[in-house]
Amino acid sequence: MIVALVGLPGAGKTRIGRELADRLGYSFLDTDQMLQERLGAPAAELFERLGEEAFRDEETGSLREALSGRDRVVSTGGGTVLRPDNRRLLREVRVLGLTARDPQLLSRLRGGRGRPVLAPNPADRLQILRRDRLPLYEEVAEAWFWTESAPVRAVERIRDFLALRRLAPGVYFGRGARRFAGSFSGFGRTLLLTQPPLVDGWARSILDSLSYGERQVTMEVVPDGEAAKEFGVYQDLLRRMAHLGMTRDETVVAVGGGAVTDLGGFVAASYMRGVPLVLVPTTVIAQADAALGGKTGIDLPEGKNLVGAFYPAQATLVDPETLRTLPLAEFRDGLAEVVKCGLGLDAELFAACATWRRPPAGPALDFALERAARAKLRLVAADPKEAGDRAKLNLGHTAGHAVEAASGYQVSHGRAVAIGLAAVSRLAERRYAFSHAREVLELLRRLGLPTYYRGDPDDLWTYLVRDKKHGSHGFRMVVPRRIGTCEVLRVEEEEMRELAALTCTPPA
Ligand SMILES: NC(=O)c1ccc[n+]([C@@H]2O[C@H](COP(=O)([O-])OP(=O)(O)OC[C@H]3O[C@@H](n4cnc5c(N)ncnc54)[C@H](O)[C@@H]3O)[C@@H](O)[C@H]2O)c1
Ligand SMILES: [Zn+2]
C-alpha cells in the first residue's frame, strides 16, 4: 500500500510520515527531500532558483517516482496538489490529510524560515494557503487527521484507520471504525443525530471523539424507531440547522439504526441542496443494508419511504462493536437480511451462516457482516439507481412486505423477511429445481426466526398485489436458483397465489 500525506506546511507530514512508515514497516519518502537529493539544493532554494513553473515540473517528477513503489509512506510538498496532473497521480493511492490550527502550524514552522511559500509574513501567508490549497487537499484526501497531540498519538490513529477494511470508496469496516467520524466531518459545526437508546453510549463517545479543535458539535435526539422518519422530525432538524447557521460544508453525522441513517441522509441531502454526511450504523440492518448504497428517505402517512433521494455519504463507518448493546430481537431481525444476502448473492456467506448453531458473535459475526455489506455494495455499484440487478436485494421481500403489512406491522421487518425467504425457497424447490429449501428453513429456525405466517392466504394476497413490485409488467419475484444465486423473474398470478399459500402453510 502507498500512503501519501498532504496538508499545510507545519501539519507534520515529514515527522508523522517518518514515524508512520516506521510503525508500518514501510519505507518513507519525502518529495521535497527527493528534489534536494536530485538537484543538490533545498526545496526553498530550488524554488527561488528555478522559478515556480520549473520547480513544479521537478516536483511532479519526484511525486511520480515516489508513488511508483509499494509499501511506502510519502510526504508530499505543500504545493503538490496545485497541479491537476499531480492530483490525478494521488488519486491512485491512499491520501490522508494532516491538519492543525494556525498557531500550532506557525510555531512548528518557527516563523516560516526555510519555507519559501510562507515568506515574508507567515501568518498572512498561511491564511492564503488555507484558502487556496485546502479545497485541493480536500479533493484528494480520503480522511483527515488532527496532529496537535503528540505525534505518536496521531501515528497510532492513522495506523488504526489504515487497519480498517475499505469495502468501497468511503465505506470502512472494522471494530473501532466509529472513532473516525471526526476524520470526515470538516472542522466547522457538526450536527450529530441519534436515537434515544444510544445517547449515553455510542453517540456520546462519538460526540467526544468529534470534539476537538474548533469544531462545535450539536447532538439532536430524534424519536425512536420509525417515528424518526416523520415529516415533522425532518422539518424540525432542517430548521435547527438553519438556526445554528450551518453552511454547505458543515456535516451531518447520523449514529443509529436504519431509521436514523435514512433520516440523517435525507436531511443532509436536502439542507442547502446537500451537505457532507457521515453514517455510523449501529444495527445489523443498518450495517448490512440501510446505511449502504445511498438511498435516504422519510415516510408519509400515505406510505413508508415515499420521500427521499439517492445521496451518497462521504463516509460510512461500519463498526460491529456497536452491536454489543443491540437487543436480541433486533439482532435476529438483521440476521434475516444477512441470510438473504448469503442465499441470493454469496454462497460462501451462506455456507458460513449454515455453520451457526445460534446467533453469531465475534469473528463469525464480523465475517458475515462484511460479506453481506460487500454483496450489497457490489449490486449498488453495478446498478446505483435501482434499475436492474439491485432488485435482487428484494429476495424474500415480496412475501415479506405483505406479511409486515397484513400483520399491521406486528411482525417486524426482519421476521417478515425470514418468512418470505422460507416461502420463496419452498416455491423455488417446487418450480425451479432449487434443492436447498430445507437448509434455509433449518438455518432460520436455529436463529430463532419464523418460517411461516400464521395468517390467511387470501388476506395476504390483498397485500401482495398492493406491493410496489407489482408494476404494469405483471408480477415480479426474486427467486433463489442455487445457493448464492438468485434471479428476478416475471411471474403469473397463479405463481404468486402459490407463494401466498406457502407463506401461510407451516413447513413439513
Ligand atoms: N435506505 C435503505 O436502503 C434501507 C434499507 C433497509 C432498511 N431501511 C430502513 O431502515 C429502517 C429499519 O432499520 P433498523 O431496524 O436499524 O431500525 P431502527 O433505526 O428503528 O433501530 C431499531 C431499534 O434499535 C435501537 N438501536 C439501534 N442501535 C442500537 C444499539 N447499538 N444498541 C441498542 N439499541 C439500538 C433503535 O433505537 C431502535 O429502537 C427502516 O426505516 C427502513 O425503511 C433503509
Ligand atoms: Zn429488508
Q: Are 345 and 486 in contact (CB under 8 A)?
A: yes
With a 6 A CB cut-off, is 480 part of the ligand 1 pocket?
A: no
Q: Tell me the backbone φ, ψ of residue 493, rounded to 5 degrees.
A: -55, -40
Could you report the per-residue pLDDT of 54-86, keeping only the tens digit for each?
Answer: 999 999 999 999 999 899 999 998 889 999 999
Q: Are 192 and 255 in contact (CB under 8 A)?
A: yes
| Same domain, yes or no: 225 and 143 | no
Nearest CA to ligand 1 atom 7: 290
Residues assigned a catalytic role: 273, 295, 337, 376, 386, 390, 394, 397, 401, 413
pLDDT less than 70: residues of the chain: 111-119, 467-473
Q: Is residue 131 part of a domain?
A: yes
Task: Give the residues across from 221 on adjacent strands.
Answer: 194
Give me the domain span that covers residue 61: 2-163
| Same domain, yes or no: 359 and 296 | no
| Same domain, yes or no: 381 and 408 | yes
pTM for the full predicted model: 0.95
Task: Give the residues across from 300 on adjacent strands.
Answer: 303
Q: Are 261 and 254 in contact (CB under 8 A)?
A: yes
Spacing, Cα 123 to ligand 1 middle (Å): 48
Structure confidence at residue 303 (pLDDT): 87
Ramachandran area for residue 10 (φ above 0: left; ψ -120 to 50: alpha; else beta)? left
Structure confidence at residue 114 (pLDDT): 56
Structure confidence at residue 417 (pLDDT): 98
Assigned C-alpha cell, 26: 514501510
| Same domain, yes or no: 331 and 273 | no
| Same domain, yes or no: 140 and 228 | no
- Angle at the Cα of 487 (from 481 to 490), degrees rounded to 5? 120
| Distance separating alpha carbons of residues 304 and 104, to the nearest angstrom | 50
| Distance separating alpha carbons of residues 282 and 296, to the nearest angstrom | 16
Q: Which ligand is nearest to the CA of 338?
A: 2
DSSP category for residue 288: I
Q: Out of 130, 163, 196, pick the residue that ends a domain.
A: 163
Q: Is residue 351 part of a domain?
A: yes
Give the chain's domain count. 3
State whether the Cα torsion 160-356-323-307 is positive or negative: positive
Q: Is residue 508 part of a domain?
A: no
Q: Tell me the backbone φ, ψ of residue 284, rounded to 5 degrees.
A: -65, -40
| Distance separating alpha carbons of residues 282 and 196, to the nearest angstrom | 13
Nearest CA to ligand 1 atom 8: 290
